Amino acid sequence: MAIYWILFIGIAVLSYLAQWNVKRKFEKYAKMPLDSVMTGKDVAEKMLHDNGIYDVTVKSTRGMLTDFYNPADKTVNLSEAVYGSNSVAAAAVAAHECGHALQHAQSYAPLKMRSAMVPVVQFSSNIVTWVLLAGILLINSFPQLLLMGIVLFAMTTLFSLITLPVEINASQRALVWLNRSGLTNISNHGAATDALKSAAYTYVVAALSSLATLIYYILIYTNRRS
């Protein structure tokens, strides 16, 4: 188990560094204006319309780096620092979220799979901690409870793994469109790429963390009689 704890602490440090790096990169590239006067909202609407999507609404949402695409009501929700900002960071984030809208419109398989898992993952997330805790306490008398917790946690791990291609593909779509539309150029396209790659690392670390934790619980279950 000592090896696991070393791995767990290492992943926790990587997670902190990845989150810190995203924030640092966003603040850096938020100071780099686009050559055009377009805001994050304008960028999002242009990308949607350029791709023939007119039934998605671009909205402002509170918070920092709280941007997301909601397939349920077809809205691209941009944080305040992105919605009204004329910067490379805002353009990259807005285009990334519109990448999800394109995935939705084109029935991108990993996105459909992730969306289908949302209700199950929400249910699992609400109870999995308590099931795992009770399962560990009752490991010898009722091992099936821990096994149930492992199955529930495996669903959240699978969700994290499926999220990786969804996020990476959305960034690829965003960068291709930004370059093709001329909103980014040789002087700032690298900054947009750097910002989105930094964000992608957070999903990679989250998936690794979830996978490591799942393995830990499996080891507890398989070694329960050792």
Q: Which of 95, 219, 110 is nearest to 159 (CA)?
A: 110
**Tokens at residue 125, please?**
């997330």
Which residue in the list 27, 45, 80, 97 is annotated as catalytic? 97
Known catalytic residue at 167: no
Torsion over CA of 162, 99, 61 and 36, rounded to 10 degrees? 150
With b meaning 16 or more CB within 10 Å and e meaning fewer, what string describes 155-187?
Answer: bbbbbbbbbebbbbbbbebbbebbeebebbeee
- Residue numbers annotated as active site: 97
